[in-house]
Copies of this chain bind each other. A is one copy, B any other.
Amino acid sequence: MSFDRLIARIIETGNPTVVGLDPKLDYVPEFIRKRSFEEKGNDLKGAANAIWKFNKAIIDAVCDIVPAVKPQAAYYEMYGWQGVKTLHKTIEYAQKKGMFVIVDGKRNDIGATMEAYSKAYLGKTEVDGFQLEGFGADALTVNGYLGTDGITPLTDICKKNDKGIFVLVKTSNKSSGELQDRVLDDGKTVYETMGSMCEQWGADSIGKYGYSAVGAVVGATYPEQLAEMREKLPHTFFLVPGYGAQGGGAEGVAKGFDKNGLGAIVNSSRAVMCAYQKEANCPPEDFAGAARRECIRMREDITNFVTGLNK
């Protein structure tokens, strides 16, 4: 239970970052798209196949130096069930390569339905007496707007199956403050209140590094809130989106870490997937090599500001 498995991988690789796999078809080099369309058809099936080939090559290129991947469900669902099949294959393949897989689905619902999501992504579904995995990820992002009874089914499964969740606390987007920064009648902000709930929800699942199975999403684009949350939520591990393309810098991101260099994992999606488009003189055929070079650059950029993490 807890995020011990993820943290162990972070220590092992000396790398507190995660590669977001948000594979819009535009990001996939043309030679892969073309070949997929020829082999599978220029339709959703062909698109899903192109994304699968792209993901597989990126995973192969980074799995020894990056602890985790974070596929974003939306970019698979936009290619219909064929895209969702690619999500499943991507999760399975990344795990086979030793990576920790966080499905970014921001799921949320009432208790009984949240149980179904828990089974889908972190647990197993019973069919004719057999226990089968729907997606079998290691962690799932969730939205806590519905309160405790939408979270308990997840924490039950996390404890049982050694999995984790990340609850949205302060998101990286511009309008996140419209609700999240509003102040409640006790003087606390909505995001702070959600953060406190994370500490409560995780209280009985604290692992050997001091972090529970209930993490929080706190955006790199709001370094002050990141620092505030790091101080107020000592047992809550952070997933930090918004570094790079969205504008969050390494110095700001460093505020999400504790004195041991732990406590957070920073996501980068587009900058890694599209590194080949930005790197000078990079042939599209070397897209995975460019992704690896960007991961190394990001690791150095962030660990320069993070003290305590053994490398």
Contacts and interface: CB of A to CB of B under 8 A. Distances in A.
Interface of A: 22, 24-25, 33, 37, 42-44, 46-47, 72, 74-75, 77-81, 83-85, 87-88, 106-111, 113-114, 116-117, 119-121, 125-128, 130, 132-135, 143-150, 168, 171-180, 182-185, 190, 193-194, 197, 241
Contact of A127 (B46, B130, B182): B46
Contacts of A107: 74, 106
B46 A78 contact: no
B177 A113 contact: no
A81 B77 contact: no
A173 B37 contact: no
A117 B78 CA distance: 6
Contacts of A177: 147
A42 B197 CA distance: 40
Contact of A185 (B80, B108, B171, B184): B184
A175 B121 CA distance: 23
Given A24-B116, A116-B24, A134-B83, A147 B78 contact: no
Nearest to A219: B110
Given A78-B116, A193-B179, A42 B106 contact: no
23 contacts: A42-B128, A47-B127, A72-B109, A74-B117, A77-B116, A77-B120, A77-B121, A77-B134, A78-B116, A78-B119, A79-B125, A80-B88, A80-B133, A84-B84, A108-B143, A111-B173, A145-B168, A147-B177, A147-B178, A149-B174, A150-B175, A178-B197, A182-B190
Nearest to A34: B128
A91 to B, nearest CB: 10
Contacts of A79: 120, 125, 127, 134
Nearest to A177: B147
A118 to B, nearest CB: 9
Q: Which 3 pairs of residues, A with B, have the shortest CB-CB distance?
A: A147-B175, A147-B178, A74-B116
A98 B37 CA distance: 33
Given A109-B106, A173-B150, A77 B193 contact: no
Given A74-B117, A81-B81, A133-B80, A190 B179 contact: yes
Contacts of A132: 43-44, 80
A47 B106 CA distance: 25
A148 B178 contact: yes
Contacts of A176: 146-147
Given A80-B134, A84-B84, A149-B173, A179 B106 contact: no
B148 A145 contact: no
